[in-house]
Structure 1
């Protein structure tokens, strides 16, 4: 009754260059967010020239933040203890035991770090363009569910961030990992983030467009995502061995500050929007 899961890692090839599903999902997620935010900017009559740099800021902020977040929070003993580890932290390569290197892509990205990187990138974007910070944050928050959904679908295609063993009828057997039926935690998250995007659009279209710029959508996004992340961790295997002895794993501990900050901004933004 279980679902055997062992897809090819490569979506397609162009000559000798293979394009992985994970990379494709990342790009599709960013592209959809780009299109959504572009439409929101047009709807709010923000000049096109102020929008154009936004994608680059977001792409670099998410990628750098997610990569550093994984290396520093989950594998500091590897990435911060040798010059090879430091190089691998920043470049998409891997050194073998003989000292030779090969292209590996960025294997290891943390959503908490990606969120921090995105926020920092948006602050820099605001300073460069002069667009209101909360207007930018709220617009990005509305589109965030699309990118988050596709990133988790990429994790599913990679058979990574696997769930705990279970006997539910929809369990996945990740053949690349073992032959044990497990919770498809990546799929749970992908569905949750797709629902978040629908909620955001419904709110925006139903007389809540005026709340853009108050911080309400930014707060709702953080609260929803990281509350879900906290509880979904109970269905997932720990990513690093040191987490096994912890009451709450690293993903849960890193989620708490985002939940608190998000709830505060959501309430504050809602009260501000009520006065508009």
Structure 2
């Protein structure tokens, strides 16, 4: 007797016919993934300039000039790209890249780690702030307020690329991804875009309006804590990377790396609130 073939799920959304390449001219191609990074950096640069130009948010003159942010953009871009790629290579797929080291340089093929990019950005900002005599915690606050923009765009690009999809589900909004098998899956990229992008951005803007920039380090610490929580929640729906899988107790690598961010973030929130505000 022949086995019965499983019927396709009745409640599932077919994956939209997205092309991961926005436009191509000969061998040159502009991908949505790259555009997300560029858009996040440029929109973040624009917003930080506006924040620095508003003395009321700082309780007086801002501790840096808009022109400082023009130069900081290059440092931050290098920190994001180098740190994000290095983190992915070392933490998420070291076995493969140790055997194919040249592929580690092919950033355009995708494969970036937020936690690696976070560390790379922190290092870049510390070096830049010291070279200009800028208070590093105030620079952290500015950048932290704008990072959710890039996270939102990056998660949307993940969805367009049909990558980093979620676990198998029977919810009505499950999506059948072209490279995720026949089962509907959580569109976890969109969940993360909402949590890590929209929610964290709204939190940062409200905090800033309430005077958070007058307490150096507060916005940055709130972002670290908020991202750690948002990422941990998102990991409950996201399919773990196949080369790593689940860790002990059902944890994932994303959860493991987010836990220190939550702990350190809470410590620095308390530190920022204890110290007297500027102005």
TM bucket, shorter chain: 0.7 to 0.9
Residues 23-45 of structure 1: per-residue CA shift (max 9 Å, x gap): 11221111111111111222244
The answer for unaligned runs of 5 or more in structure 1 is 93-103
Counterparts in 2 of 1:244 and 1:202: CA distance versus 1, 3 Å: closer
Counterparts in 2 of 1:183 and 1:275: CA distance versus 1, 3 Å: same
Task: Look up the SS of the partner of 1:52 in the other structure.
Answer: helix
Task: Look up the SS of the partner of 2:134 in the other structure.
Answer: coil
Which of 226, 229, 232 aligns to 1:227? It is 229
Q: Is 1:58 paired with 2:76?
A: yes
Structure 2 length-normalised TM: 0.87
Task: Look up the SS of the partner of 1:19 in the other structure.
Answer: strand
Which of 190, 203, 209 aligns to 2:207? It is 203
1:2 is matched with which residue? Answer: 12
Which of 69, 72, 79 aligns to 2:97? It is 79
Which of 119, 122, 125 aligns to 1:119? It is 122
Separation (CA, whole Å) in 2 of partners of 1:198 and 1:40: 15
Separation (CA, whole Å) in 2 of partners of 1:64 and 1:207: 33
Separation (CA, whole Å) in 2 of partners of 1:19 and 1:242: 30
Residues 38-61 of structure 1: per-residue CA shift (max 9 Å, x gap): 112222443233222111011110
Counterparts in 2 of 1:273 and 1:191: CA distance versus 1, 3 Å: farther
1:99 is matched with which residue? Answer: none
Separation (CA, whole Å) in 2 of partners of 1:21 and 1:246: 35
**How many equivalent pairs are there?**
259
2:194 is matched with which residue? Answer: 191
Separation (CA, whole Å) in 2 of partners of 1:65 and 1:205: 31
2:213–2:219 Cα contact (<8 Å) kept: no
Residues 210-258 of structure 1: per-residue CA shift (max 9 Å, x gap): 22xx211111000001111112212111103443353211111111111
Separation (CA, whole Å) in 1 of partners of 2:176 and 2:113: 24
Counterparts in 2 of 1:207 and 1:215: CA distance versus 1, 3 Å: closer
Q: CA RMSD in A?
A: 1.8
1:95 is matched with which residue? Answer: none
Q: Is 1:35 paired with 2:41?
A: no
Counterparts in 2 of 1:275 and 1:27: CA distance versus 1, 3 Å: closer
The answer for unaligned runs of 5 or more in structure 2 is 1-10, 56-61
| Displacement after TM superposition at 1:120 (Å) | 0.6
Q: Is 1:174 paired with 2:177?
A: yes
Separation (CA, whole Å) in 2 of partners of 1:130 and 1:171: 51
- Larger Cα-atom Rg: 2
Separation (CA, whole Å) in 1 of partners of 2:41 and 2:82: 15
Separation (CA, whole Å) in 1 of partners of 2:278 and 2:36: 40
